[in-house]
Structures are given as C-alpha cells and as structure tokens.
C-alpha cells in the first residue's frame, strides 16, 4: 500500500478534487473559493482545474448560498458549500434548521437533501470573538443532519468523501489550527467510517474523550501523564451527531474514569451531552465523577495570552486527571 504525506489543508483539497473529478454532480461553492483559493487556501488551484461552473464564487450572503446549495441538492446535484467560519454560518441557520434538516421528514421521505457544508471552527489564531468560536454542538443538536469533526488529515479527506455519499445534510467542522498539520495517508482517496469514534491511544487508567482541534492536546496530556505512571486512553469522537457512545462506554469499562475535553463553552456543551449519556448508561462504571475541560465562559479574546488562558490546554487536562483518585 503506497502512502503520501499531506497537510490537513492539502488532504481536504484532495478530497474535493477527487469528488469533482469522479462525479459530475459535485460542485464547490462559497465566498472566494475560486481564484483566491478560499479563506484558508483549501480550494487553491481548483478553479483552474475544473472551471467556474464547478468552482463557484458566491455573494457574501450565507443564507443565500446555503439556500442555493439546498436547492441544488434537492434537484440531484451534490454541492459542497464552504462557509468561511462557523460564526458566519449562524446567518444561514434558518435555511439549515427549517429547510435542510426538515425536508425529508416533512415530505414523508419524498425529498432528499444530499448537501455537504464545510466550515472552519475554533480558536487559537488571534482572530477574536467573531471568528473563533466552537459552536459545533448547535449543529449536533439538530435532528436530520450529521455533524463531523475531522481531527486528522486522513479524516479531512475521507470524511468529505463519505459525506458526499450521504443522502442527508452533512456538516463538516474543520478546526482552523489543524490546516498545517501533516499526516500520512493512503495514496488513493477513499471514504472513511463516519459512524464510529476512534481510539487514538490505548490506556487503562483514565479515558480522555475529545474531537477536532483538541485531539493533539489530549495526546500530549496522555504523554505527560504516562511519565507519572497514569495510562490514559484517548478517544476521538469524529462524529458529533450521531454520537458513538458505545466506544466511550467500552473504554470506561476498562478505565472507570472519564475526562471530556471540548473547546465549546461548558454550559450546554457537547461535553455536557457526553457526560449525561455516561450518567444514564454507564454510571455504575464510574469510580470518580466525570470531569469536563472546556473553554472559559467568555467571548474568545483577541490578546494571545488571554486566548490561551481561555482555551482548554494540555496543562488543564493533566490537572483534571490528577484531581482524581487512582
């Protein structure tokens, strides 16, 4: 099996390129996705390769171009819609909640919306409060959609290809700090499993549950804990809706301790949902209360030292684990 080393950005581009090349129904649309190459350079060179019919710049109106994507999907196309950041996606929530997520149900299964929406999420790049929040849980709350959070280059490429095969709307949240991350991928693009979480590191003493941009912090925390004799298992959720609770419970059955790391705010967070499911289905497996490491309940600050203080960190994860009795 031949492999190739790509950054997360290149892997996402490779997934889009493969989809455009192999399925004439696929097209990319969004703000500046053409000659500019997208806000994060993911679509660089695709306009030259596939032309303006397949790589379409849109007006600066998220509601309009997400709505256009829904219409195209209803008519048999496979649109990939790029929204610059998750904060801006809020302008399209009416289209998403009232149309994309509901039309299959409201039509009694007669209508399908095979729409893929990609967007950057997360903080860590000093872009301040209007460009850097982690609002994925808002989408994970909506019945009728699937919410994905690729944390590796392999998932950035493969989840996109799997999403294009889904007959219902799929939202892909790409943490903006991951775009330069390098990884080794199989040379031939292929869809990956979007139904199950992944155990990224095995361990027996404590389970760290996370996703997206916090995966690297959890893996670093696990290395730090290992030096102190604490063996941490790290689970990458990958899919936020529907949650793969079974993989978490299987890990908890070994470790009996759980820390959830989520860049969202703690109140109403994805971490809260995971914690609730564990309490409902795995309470007897716990030897210690579930711990949550989340972003401070403030708008993301611009100043670098304040932004770093607000976000989950390796040190905070290690501290949360060491508060437990072993």
Per-residue confidence in pLDDT tens, the chain, 326 aa: 799 999 999 999 999 999 999 999 999 999 999 999 999 999 999 999 999 999 999 999 999 999 999 999 999 999 999 999 999 999 999 999 999 999 999 999 999 999 999 999 999 999 999 999 999 999 999 999 999 999 999 999 999 999 999 999 999 999 999 999 999 999 999 999 999 999 999 999 999 999 999 999 999 999 999 999 999 999 999 999 999 999 999 999 999 999 999 999 999 999 999 999 999 999 999 999 999 999 999 999 999 999 999 999 999 999 999 999 88
Active site residue 62: yes
Residue 119 tokens read as: 């967007």
Is 134 in contact with 269 (CB distance < 8 Å)? Answer: no
Strand partners, 262: 294
Which of 5, 7, 12, 10 shows the shortest CA–CA distance to 173? 12
**CB-count burial class (<10 Å; 0-12, 13-18, 19+) for 267:** exposed
Contact 119, 89 (CB under 8 A): yes
Q: What's the pLDDT score for residue 1?
A: 77
Tokens of 66: 């997400």
Residue 173 near residue 123 (C-beta atoms within 8 A): no
Token pair, residue 142, equals 């909506």
* Residue 325: predicted pLDDT: 84
Q: Catalytic annotation on 31?
A: no
Q: How far apart are CA 16 and CA 14, in angstroms?
A: 5
Q: Among residues 62, 136, 233, 263, which one is catalytic?
A: 62
Query: Which candidate in 10, 31, 82, 131 is catalytic?
Result: 131
For position 326, what pLDDT does the model report? 86
Crossing angle of the two packed helices 314-322 and 215-227, in degrees rounded to 10: 50
pLDDT value at residue 139:
97
pLDDT score recorded for residue 27: 98
Category of 72 on φ-ψ map: left (φ > 0), alpha (ψ -120 to 50) or beta: alpha
Domains of the chain: 3-186 (3.40.50.970), 198-322 (3.40.50.920)
For residue 114, what pLDDT is reported?
Answer: 98
Model-wide pTM > 0.85? yes
List phi, psi (to 5°) of 134: -115, 95
Q: What local confidence, expressed as pLDDT, does residue 235 receive? A: 98
Chain centroid, CA 313 distance in Å: 18
């Amino acid at each position: 099996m031949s492999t190739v080393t790509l950054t997360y950005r290149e892997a996402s581009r490779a997934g889009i390129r493969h989809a455009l090349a192999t399925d004439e129904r696929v097209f990319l649309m969004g703000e500046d996705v053409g000659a500019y190459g997208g806000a994060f350079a993911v679509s660089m060179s695709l306009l030259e390769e596939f032309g303006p019919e397949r790589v379409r710049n849109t007006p600066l109106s998220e509601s309009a171009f997400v709505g256009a994507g829904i219409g195209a999907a209803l008519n048999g196309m496979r649109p990939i819609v790029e929204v610059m950041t998750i904060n801006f996606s809020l302008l399209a929530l009416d289209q998403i909640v009232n149309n994309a997520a509901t039309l299959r149900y409201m039509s009694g299964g007669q209508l399908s919306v095979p729409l893929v929406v990609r967007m950057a999420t997360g903080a860590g790049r000093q872009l301040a409060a209007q460009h850097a929040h982690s609002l994925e849980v808002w989408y994970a709350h909506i019945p009728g959609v699937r919410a994905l959070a690729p944390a590796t280059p392999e998932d950035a490429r493969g989840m996109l290809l799997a999403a294009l095969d889904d007959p219902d709307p799929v939202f892909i949240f790409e943490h903006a700090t991951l775009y330069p991350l390098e990884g080794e991928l199989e040379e031939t693009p292929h869809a990956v499993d979007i139904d199950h979480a992944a155990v990224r590191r095995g361990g027996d003493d404590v389970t760290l549950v996370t996703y997206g941009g916090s995966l690297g912090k959890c893996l670093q925390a696990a290395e730090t804990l290992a030096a102190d004799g604490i063996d941490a298992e790290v689970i990458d959720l990958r899919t936020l809706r529907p949650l793969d609770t079974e993989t978490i419970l299987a890990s908890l059955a070994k470790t009996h301790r759980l820390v959830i790391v989520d860049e969202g705010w703690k109140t109403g967070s994805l971490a809260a949902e995971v914690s609730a499911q564990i309490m409902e289905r795995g309470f007897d497996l716990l030897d210690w209360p579930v711990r949550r490491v989340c972003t401070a309940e403030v708008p993301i600050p611009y100043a670098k030292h304040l932004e770093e203080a607000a976000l989950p960190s390796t040190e905070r994860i290690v501290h949360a684990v060491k508060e437990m009795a072993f």
